[in-house]
Structure 1
Amino acid sequence: TDVSAEEIKVSARSTPRLAMQGVDLGRALAEAAKAVGGNGGGHDVSAAARIPRERMDEFIVKIDQMLSGGSK
């Protein structure tokens, strides 16, 4: 992660095996970032997002829920 005064840049990587099982990091980061007022996207195995610094914890909870199959 790259941290500035106002926003945080997040990057994520996965494996082709997880992508074949349905994990799409691009979609997950895009949705989680949008939910906290940021933006993101990418590919199923590589993605990035920019989120407001003050909503980092909320983003982490959101992305964890999405990737673990919990409620959105």
Structure 2
Amino acid sequence: MDLKEAKEIIKAGLTWANWTEEQKEAMKIAYKSMVVVEDIKGLCIDCEGDRRAIQPYEILDLLED
């Protein structure tokens, strides 16, 4: 399963699944983590062309709410 499919399942589950509030919060965190992973992958592609490393602050910026 790829990230796009996993995100779609989480979004659907948040709409109709009978999850507890704690489970819903966990799924929101998981969804956000998947978005950040996609963003980091995008940075890595850019980094190869620029021959520079991803800086820690760039990852932290992606993780902020």
TM-score range, shorter chain: 0.3 to 0.5
- When Rg is computed on C-alpha atoms for both structures, the one with the higher figure is 2
Query: Which structure features the higher share of strand residues?
Result: 1
Larger relative contact order, structure 1 or 2 (CA cutoff 8 Å, min sep 6) = 1
Q: What TM-score comes out, normalization by structure 1 length?
A: 0.32
Q: Which has the higher helix share?
A: 2
Q: TM-score with structure 2 length normalisation? A: 0.34
